[in-house]
Structure 1
C-alpha cells in the first residue's frame, strides 16, 4: 500500500547511496501489491510521484555540480590547464545516469547554469514543480542573453512557481522568447545567425528497416526545399502517378541527391557496406545482415540489395571476414604502423559499429589505442576500439585508464573512471550464427 502521509512534512534525507537505495527498495516493494487507494488517491499519488521524479533529477543536478567542482579543484591543484579542468566529468555523470555521454554532458551543463544563473528556475525544479526538460527550455531560450538579462527573464517567467507549473511547453517557450526579444533584440538576431552555422544532416534507424534522414536548415532553405518537393509530387500526381504524395516527395529527394543534379558535372560515388554470411547470401539461411551506418536488416532485404546491384551493373566488391568461434565478433590481424591502416580502421568500424562507451550510440569518429602509443601500445584490432569524439577526449582526462581485458571470448576493453568505477565493453556479434563465413559486400554507386 502506498503511504504518502509524510509527503507534506519534508524531512532532511541524506544524499548517500545507502539512504537512496533504502527508499527505492521501499517504493519498489509497494508495487508488489494493490495500492488500496481510491481513484482520487491514485491520481494524487501519480501527481506526487511526478513531483518526486522532478526532485530526483534536481538532486542529480545538485550532485553533478558538486562532482564537477571537486574535479576542477583537484585538477587545478595539480596544474592541469584551465581548458581541461572539466574534461570527462560529463561522461562520469552519464555513466551514473546510464545514458549517453552527450546527454550526461547536457545534464551537467544545465545543472551548472540552473544553480548559478537561474535561481527562480532552480527553486521550482528542486521543489518538483517543473521537469528537467522544462528547466532545459528556460536555459536554452535565455542562452543568448547577458547574465543580467537572463536573470530578469528567469524572474519574470519563473518567479511565480505556481504559474510556471501550469504552463504548457509551447506557452513557456513563447513567453521566454518574447521576454528575451523585449530585453535584447540584438542578441536574438545574433543567435539566429549563429544557428544557421549549425545546419547539418543526420541519419537514424527507423522501424521496419527504414531510416529518418533529417536536415536542420535555415528556415528559407527548409521551406524552399519542401516546396520544391511538394511541387514535384503535385505535378507527378496530376500526371496520373499512383504513388502517394509523401512517396513521390521521398523518391524525388533520393533521386536528386543520389543521382545528382543534371547540371552538376562529374559523377558521384557512394559506398554501401553490407555484412552477411555466405550461407545467407546464397539463400540458405535467414540470419539478419548488417548495413554500416544503419544496423541489422533482414537477410531477404540484403539479398534484394545485392541482386539489385548486380542488375544495375554497379561495382561490387566482396571481402571475407572471420568471426570468433564462440562470440560471433569479428577478428583481424596486427599492424605495426602508427596510424590505423585503412583496412584495419574499416574493420574496427564494422566490428564496433557505434561508440564502445556504454549507453553511447554515437557513430564511431575516432579509432583509439586503449594502451597509448606513448606506452608502447600496438596498432592492432586487440588494442583498438571505436569511440565517438567526445568519449575519446574524455578518456584522456586525469584518472581515466583503459586496457584490453585478457580473455578467450573475443574482444573486450576495461575502462576505469577516476572514481574507481569500472565497466567492460564488447563489440556486438556481427552475425547471429558463427558457423558461417561473413562476407563484406561493398557497393560503389557511380552515377
Structure 2
C-alpha cells in the first residue's frame, strides 16, 4: 500500500476498520510480533496527534488574530477541544497540548522516538516534565543526549530513563533544579480519589519534612495505643487517628472513627428499610461515591448511635428517572439551585470525559444572551470547562430529552452530547419476557 503524503481522518478510519474486522493468525510467534507492532502503531499515532494538535492550535490562533481577538485570549479553549476529541479530561488536554508544542519546537529527537515507537507517550511526557525547568538550549541538549540514538533506549526502563533525565538536568543547571524543588512547596494539596470496595485514597502532597513528621506522629501514637491493648493494627490506628484529628471527632475504641453522614434518600427508594438499591456519600467539593445499601445503613447507624447530628434529605424523581427537586434541610451545604445542580449531576463536571469536581453553576445558554437561571438551563461545571466555553465560537444548547441533555459545539464544528446520569439507585423500567406471550415490568 502506498503511503499517503497527507494523512486524513479517512485513512485512519480505514486502518481502524481493518483492526476491528480482521481476524488473528494462529502462529504464536506471529501474535507476539503483532502485539509489538501494535504498540509501535500506538506511539506513532500519538506523534501524529501531537503534530495535528500544534497545527490546529496555530490555525486557531491565526484565525482569532484575524478577527481581532486579543493576543492573551487567542487559543483559549484549544486544549479543551483536543481533550474532547481524544476523550480525555480538560486537564489531560492541557498536558497533551503542552507535550505537542515541546516535541515540535524544542525536543525533536524525543518526537522522532515517539513516532518510531521507541518511546511511549507516557514516557515522552515524563521526559518533557523532567526538563521543564531548563532553558530551551539545555532542553535541546538533554533531548539529543537521550533520544538522538534510538538504540540507546533499548531495554531502558521508565525509572532509569527518568533518572538519566534528572541527572543530566542537574549537571546542566543545578540552580534551576533547586529552584524547582523549592517552588514545588507551592503545589502542596490534599486530594481524594476512589478505591475498590467503598474505600478512598486521601492523599496529602506535602513538603518532605511535614510529611515525615505527620507520618511519624501518627505512627508513634498508634504504637502507644497498641501498647495499651487496642486490637487494631498499626495501619488501622493511624488511619483512625488521622480522621479523628482532622474532623475533631473523638476516637472510638476498637472501631472506625464515626463521622457526620448525610444520607440522600430518593422518594421511591427503600434502602434505609432494607432494600438493595445503592446510596452515595459525599461532601462539599468532593465527588460522591456510590455505596451498597447495607454500607449506607451502617454509616447512618454509626452516625445516629455516636451522638452526631444527622439529617435525611429527600430527592424527588419523576417517572422517567429525572431528578426534579429536593428538600433544602441539610447540615453541611448551602441551600439553592447550585446545590441542586451539583446533586443532579452527581458532583461531576457535565463536560464529556471530564471527571473533575463541580465548582461552578453554569448557564447553558448564557445569561448575557437571555438564558434563564433555571434547572433546565443550568449545569455543573469545573472551573476549567466553564472558562473554556467562554472562548470564541463555542456554543451550547439544551436538547429536548426526557433527561437533561446538553449539546456542545466547538469552534471546529464538532458536536458533543452530555446527558445527566440517572439518580443513584435508579434503574430504567423494562419489560422482561417470562414465557411466550407473558411479560413482566421490571423497575
Q: TM-score, normalised by structure 2?
A: 0.87
Counterpart selection for 1:347 from 336, 340, 359: 340
In the TM superposition, residue 123 of structure 1 has moved relative to its aligned partner by 1.4
Q: Secondary structure at the match of 1:290?
A: strand
In the TM superposition, residue 280 of structure 1 has moved relative to its aligned partner by 2.3
Counterpart selection for 2:379 from 382, 385, 396: 385
Q: Does 1:329 align with 2:322?
A: yes
Structure 2: where are the runs of 5+ without partners? 252-258, 327-333, 429-443
Q: Secondary structure at the match of 1:357?
A: coil
Q: Does 1:71 align with 2:60?
A: yes
8 Å contact 2:262–2:312 — kept in the other structure?
no
Q: Does 1:402 align with 2:414?
A: no
- The change in CA–CA distance for 1:388 and 1:272 in structure 2 (over 3 A counts) is farther
8 Å contact 2:407–2:416 — kept in the other structure?
yes
Q: Does 1:422 align with 2:426?
A: no
Q: Does 1:35 align with 2:25?
A: yes
Query: When the two structures are aligned, how many residues end up with a matched partner?
Result: 408
The structure, 1 or 2, with the larger RCO (C-alpha pairs under 8 Å, 6+ apart) is 1
8 Å contact 1:276–1:290 — kept in the other structure?
no
Q: Does 1:257 align with 2:246?
A: yes
In the TM superposition, residue 177 of structure 1 has moved relative to its aligned partner by 0.8
8 Å contact 2:261–2:299 — kept in the other structure?
no
- The change in CA–CA distance for 1:131 and 1:410 in structure 2 (over 3 A counts) is same
8 Å contact 1:325–1:434 — kept in the other structure?
no
Partner residue, 2:179: 190
Q: What does 1:167-246 align with in structure 2 at a 5 Å threshold? A: 167-246=156-235
1:92, 1:180 → 2: CA distance?
Answer: 33
Please say which of residues 376-385 and 278-287 is displaced more in the overlay. Answer: 278-287
Q: Secondary structure at the match of 2:421?
A: coil
In the TM superposition, residue 357 of structure 1 has moved relative to its aligned partner by 0.7
Describe the superposition over 1:21-79 as per-residue Cα deviations: whole angstroms up to 9, x where unpaired.
1111112222x3x4132x33332222221111110111111111111111111111111
Q: Secondary structure at the match of 2:310?
A: strand
Q: Secondary structure at the match of 1:315?
A: coil
Q: Does 1:17 align with 2:14?
A: no
In the TM superposition, residue 370 of structure 1 has moved relative to its aligned partner by 1.0
Describe the superposition over 1:398-431 as per-residue Cα deviations: whole angstroms up to 9, x where unpaired.
1110111123x02121111112211221211113
In the TM superposition, residue 225 of structure 1 has moved relative to its aligned partner by 1.4
Partner residue, 1:338: none
Q: Secondary structure at the match of 1:197?
A: helix
1:62, 1:433 → 2: CA distance?
Answer: 44
8 Å contact 1:13–1:19 — kept in the other structure?
no
Q: Does 1:106 align with 2:95?
A: yes
In the TM superposition, residue 197 of structure 1 has moved relative to its aligned partner by 0.2
Partner residue, 2:314: 320
1:398, 1:294 → 2: CA distance?
Answer: 33
2:421, 2:263 → 1: CA distance?
Answer: 16
Partner residue, 1:291: 281
Q: TM-score, normalised by structure 1?
A: 0.86
Describe the superposition over 1:190-230 as per-residue Cα deviations: whole angstroms up to 9, x where unpaired.
10111110000001111111111011111111122122222
Counterpart selection for 1:81 from 70, 73, 89: 70
Describe the superposition over 1:291-330 as per-residue Cα deviations: whole angstroms up to 9, x where unpaired.
233321111122222222222232233333211321x231
- The change in CA–CA distance for 1:349 and 1:102 in structure 2 (over 3 A counts) is same
2:244, 2:44 → 1: CA distance?
Answer: 50
8 Å contact 2:261–2:300 — kept in the other structure?
no
Partner residue, 1:26: 18
2:66, 2:155 → 1: CA distance?
Answer: 46
